[in-house]
Amino acid sequence: MSPRPRALFSFIPLAMLACSSPPEETTSARPTRTPTTSVDAFDVPIAGITSEFLADFNDGDLLFSTPLRDSDGLGPLYTRTSCGSCHDKANRGPGLVQKMALVEDDGVTPASDQSELAYGHTVHPLTAGGGMTPILPPDDPKVKVTTRFGPPVLGRGYLEAVSDDEILRVEAEQAARDDEIHGRINWVSYASEHNEDTRFHDYDRGDTLIGRFGLKARVPALDDFTADAFQGDMGITSPLRPTEFKNPDGLTDDQKPGIDVGFDSVNLRANYVRLIAIPRRTSDSTGAALFESTQCSVCHVPSLHTRADYPVSALADIDAPVYTDLLLHRMSDELADGLPADPGVDGQADSFSWRTAPLIGLRFDRTFLHDGRAKSVTEAIELHRGAHSEANASVDAFDALTADDQASLVNFVEGL
C-alpha cells in the first residue's frame, strides 16, 4: 500500500481545525479553499514496508498521540500524558523535560556531591494515581536547571539500523584527525528487561551497547527508549520497565494495580518511531559542497551504512542519509547542562557533550538545539561556537562564506 492514503488522512484534522467555529456561523462566509496537492508530507511511513509493518505504523501512530489517564496507570509522577505531547507530529516539543544538577561556581562543572538531588536529575512536575509530591528543583543557587525539548523522532529507524562497525569506523577516523573534532561513542547499558519481540534484537538488561538515542546518546535501542519514556515521563510501567519511578511518596504502584501496559503498547509505539520516513526535499549540489567544505559533514556525516539483517528490509544494507555520526562531541561551555557523567544519568556523556543532532526534517521546526534556544538554522550554527567547542573552526568557515553561499548552505540544511 502506498503512503498516500495516510497523507490525505492527516490532512483532515487540519481542515477541521480551520472551520472549528459553530456550524451555524460558518454557512455562507466560509472561504472556499481546495486542498493543495503539494502538501510537504512528513510523519508518513517509509515507502515499501510490509503490510504488517504498515499496520504497526498506523496503530503505533494513534497510540503515540493518545493521552493516558490515572486508570491507565498514569503516575505517581509524570510530566506529560502522551508521547505526542512532547513530539507533536513526530517533531520537536512543545512538551519538554527539565534537568537539574549541582554545579561548581563556574556554573557548568558538576559538583562532586550531587546527593541533594535524592530523586535524580530529572524534574517530575506533576502527580497522578495517588502521588502527592512532585520532584522539583531545590531552592539552592548551586542547582542549575536546564531544558530538553522532546527532539524530532523522524527517521529514527534509520539510526537504529546503522551498523556498529560504521560507528566504530567513524570514531576511529575522527580520533586520527589533527584538528579538534574527536567524537566519542557513548557506551551504555540496555536498561530494560528482555523484550519478547526479538525481531529487532535479543538484548538482555545490562548488555553493553553503543548509545544512539537521546540528546546525549544514552539509550541503545528504540524499545528501550520507549519503555524509558513511559516510565520516566509518564509514570507508566511495562514488562520492559516493571517498577514505578522512585518517588518522594515512596509509592510502588498507582491506581492501576501492577504493570500498567503490555509489550504491545511499547513495541507498537517503538515501531511507529522506527518506521517514519525521512522527509527529504531534493537539495542543491552547491549547498552540499559547502556543507562539506565548512566541515559540517565531519560530525553531521551525510550517510552511514546499515546492518544487512535489520528486519525492516527498506532500511537494511543501505547508506542511511542520517547526517549524524551518532557520536558525542565536546560542545561549548555555553551549551553545557552541568550534569555529571554517570551510568544512571547520560552514560559516559558529561556536562559538555552532546550527540551530533541528526539533520532530518528541519524545515518543520521553529526552534533548534537541545533546549530550543536557536530560532533559526543560522542561529543554531552560530551557537556551535563557544569556549572549548569542537565545532569552532567549522563556524569560522561558515562565517567566512559570502552571504549567498551562507544562504545556500542554510537552504540545503533546511531541506534535509
Kindly state the cell numbers that stand for 127: 502527580
Contact 323, 155 (CB under 8 A): no
Q: How many residues bind ligand HEC (CB under 6 A)?
A: 54
Contacts of residue 384, defined as CB under 8 A and 6 or more positions apart, other chains included, come to 331, 332, 391, 392, 394, 395
Rounded CA separation 409/106 (Å): 35
- State the Cα torsion 246-251-256-258 to the nearest 10°: 70
Site for ligand HEC in 145-164 (CB under 6 A): 148, 150-151, 153, 156
Residue located via cell numbers 512536575: 125
The C-alpha angle 94, 98, 104, rounded to 5 degrees, equals 145
Regarding 222 and contact with ligand HEC (CB under 6 A), the answer is yes
Part in contact with ligand HEC (CB under 6 A); list of ranges 31-39, 127-135, 294-302, 336-344: 294-302
Site for ligand HEC in 29-88 (CB under 6 A): 79-80, 83, 85-87
Rounded CA separation 302/320 (Å): 8
Regarding 191 and contact with ligand HEC (CB under 6 A), the answer is no
Q: By CB under 6 A, name the one of 97, 209, 261, 304 that touches ligand HEC.
A: 97
One symbol per residue from 341 to 370: x for binding ligand HEC (CB under 6 A), - otherwise; what is it? Answer: -------------x-xx-x--x-----xxx
Regarding 220 and contact with ligand HEC (CB under 6 A), the answer is no
Instruction: Considering the complex, state which of residue 4 and residue 177 has its C-beta at the smaller distance from ligand HEC.
Output: 177
Q: By CB under 6 A, name the one of 144, 241, 256, 329 that touches ligand HEC.
A: 329
- DSSP result, 327-394: -EEE--GGG---PPPBTTTTBT--TTEEEPPP--SGGG-SSBSTT--BSSHHHHHHTT-STT-TTHHH
Q: By CB under 6 A, name the one of 100, 209, 335, 349 that touches ligand HEC.
A: 335
Instruction: Considering the complex, state which of residue 5 and residue 107 has its C-beta at the smaller distance from ligand HEC.
Output: 107
Rounded CA separation 305/165 (Å): 9
Instruction: Considering the complex, state which of residue 40 and residue 179 has its C-beta at the smaller distance from ligand HEC.
Output: 179
Site for ligand HEC in 106-125 (CB under 6 A): none
Q: Is 307 exposed, middle or buried (0-12, 13-18, 19+ CB in 10 A)?
A: middle
Site for ligand HEC in 374-403 (CB under 6 A): 377, 380-381, 384, 390-391, 394, 398
Contacts of residue 296, defined as CB under 8 A and 6 or more positions apart, other chains included, come to 394, 398, 409, 413
Q: Which residues lie near ligand HEC (CB under 6 A)?
A: 79-80, 83, 85-87, 95, 97, 148, 150-151, 153, 156, 181, 213-216, 218, 222, 225-226, 229-230, 233-234, 269, 273, 294-296, 298-300, 329, 331, 335, 354, 356-357, 359, 362, 368-370, 377, 380-381, 384, 390-391, 394, 398, 413
